[in-house]
Amino acid sequence: MKNILFVFFISLLIQNSFGQTRFITEGKIEFERKVNLHADMKGDDAWIAEWKKNIPQFKTTYFDLSFTNNKTFYRPGKENEENNRLRWEQPAEDNIIYSELDKHAVTSQKRIFEKTFLIQDSTKNIQWKITDEKRTIAGFECRRANALIMDSIYIVAFYTDEIITPGGPESFAGLPGMILGLAIPHEHVTWFATKLFATPVTETEFKVPAKGTKTTNTAMKDYIQSSLKDWGRWADRYVKAALL
């Protein structure tokens, strides 16, 4: 992995010397996370139609991702005042995630209901399939990649090789560059970069999460399933969101 990253960095450096491209090794990215609330409420019942009238279709939250070389730090960003009238709290709305990509190590702080968990795990082993489709996100040309996670969840990512840190929102990583766009269609959630601050970052911006009950993803999953045993299909969706 280190050799691949070194060769990739040198190739970008050579290209840049001829004015063909740019490369960025550190900075901060703002991500906009959107959840389609209406998509979860299906049916022709009158109460569902009335509910949708009073609730916006999307809930939007913001996160900042600081990065330098092979380290990333993902945390809640600016507040969205439109959410003040929404009493619909979902998993992953205040996640804090520190990743050391070259060591394949991730430390996550996640709040589930009234309980905060501290999870130390390895990076996701995602088998990405890179395609020829391209899209411009936050001013960067990005290439599309597809994959399955948790055996059956289809995800779509758009990454740029102009930012050489191979990370992304939450703990998604493993592509030859930074993920600036991510969508999980069947879970009705997306993350897209809105802006990049290509400024130097200091070590103080990378704080390893330390708050919460130390646990594993498996134990956290068992806790959620036990707490939501009467929620039916909603429990499964909640578990998936918490484990991303």
Total structural domains in the chain? 1
Identify the band that residue 49 occupies on the pLDDT scale cut at 50, 70 and 90: low
Q: Say if 96 falls within a structural domain.
A: yes
Q: Which residue has the tokens 């900042």?
A: 64
What is the percent of the chain where pLDDT is above 70? 82
- Phi and psi at residue 22, to the nearest 5°: -125, 165
Contacts by 105-114, CB closer than 8 A, 24 or more apart: 106/171, 107/208, 107/209, 108/171, 108/209, 109/209, 109/210, 109/211, 109/212, 110/212, 110/220, 110/242, 111/212, 112/220, 112/223, 112/224, 112/227, 112/242, 113/227
Helix-strand-coil split of the chain, %, nearest 5: 25, 40, 35
CATH code for the domain of 69: 2.50.20
Q: Say if 176 falls within a structural domain.
A: yes
* 166 closest CA partner among 227, 206, 205, 124: 124
pLDDT at 53 over 80: no
* Mean pLDDT within 93-107: 95
Tell me the residue range of the domain where 119 lies.
24-243
Identify the band that residue 12 occupies on the pLDDT scale cut at 50, 70 and 90: very low
List, in sequence order, every beta strand (DSSP E) within the chain: 26-36, 58-68, 71-76, 96-100, 105-112, 115-122, 129-137, 140-149, 153-160, 178-184, 189-197, 213-215
Q: Say if 174 falls within a structural domain.
A: yes
Q: Say if 11 falls within a structural domain.
A: no
- Determine the Cα–Cα distance for residues 217 and 177; give it in Å rounded to an integer: 26
Q: How many residues does the chain have?
A: 244
Q: Say if 6 falls within a structural domain.
A: no
Q: What is the pLDDT of residues 118-164, one digit of tens each?
A: 999 998 899 999 999 999 999 999 999 999 998 889 999 999 999 99
Q: Which residue has the tokens 């501290």?
A: 118
Q: Say if 2 falls within a structural domain.
A: no
pLDDT at 37 over 90: no
Retrieve residue 86's tokens: 């929404």
- Determine the Cα–Cα distance for residues 96 and 106; give it in Å rounded to an integer: 10
Q: Say if 1 falls within a structural domain.
A: no
Q: Say if 128 falls within a structural domain.
A: yes
126 by Cβ neighbours in 10 Å (0-12 / 13-18 / 19+) ranks as middle
pLDDT at 241 over 70: yes
Amino acid, res. 159: Y
